[in-house]
Amino acid sequence: MTQIIQRHRLHVDNLDKVERPLVQVQADEDSICATLTKELEKKTRELSCIHGKGLEELSLEELIRLERQIERGQSRLRRAKGERLRKEIVALKGKELQYMKENEKLKEKKNGMSTERVSLLRFIQTASSESEIHVPSSAMTPLPLSPPQYDTSLRLGLPVHTGS
């Protein structure tokens, strides 16, 4: 029986020890909450001043401090904007260079096709003069830039002649 009473007393003593730190923790939390609430109110007031609200309540020193704060913010904003514009300009110049190279390649390809046509026409002229073959004047005209459309169908049997 005495053991039970001792355990009961020990339990009650432990409860008192546990409750004391809880009270201390609660007081600390209340203190932190009050500090954070004051800080939030101050920051809210500063933000509304930055937006131009409640300026009448500020003293001259506070107005000067606010003006300097806004000027520092504007200079940071201008630096960030300038840096982004520089990056965009560099990227666009890179694209311009890439497109210029691609354009040159296309011009060279086009010129290569023109020289092939000239070579083909010279070959035809040479072959016709050597073999005395009559080449129609339509073969001597420059080839069109777009690929010609050919009839690629296959017809079986002899051609059908009508008339004469």
The mean of the pLDDT values for the chain is 79
- In whole angstroms, what is the distance from residue 82 CA to residue 88 CA? 10
**Residue 2, pLDDT score:** 79
| Residue 1 confidence (pLDDT) | 72
At residue 103, the pLDDT reads 92
Euclidean distance between CA atoms 3 and 47, whole angstroms: 65
pLDDT of 138 strictly over 60: no
What pLDDT shows up at residue 123?
Answer: 78
Residue 92 has pLDDT above 80, yes or no: yes
Mark 8-17 as b/e (b = at least 16 C-beta within 10 Å).
eeeeeeeeee
Share of the chain above pLDDT 70, in %: 72
Dihedral of CA 106/112/113/114: which sign?
positive
In this prediction, residue 53 carries a pLDDT of 86
Residue 145: pLDDT band (50, 70, 90) is low
Confirm if 140 and 124 have CB atoms less than 8 A apart: yes
The predicted model gives 41-61 an average pLDDT of 86
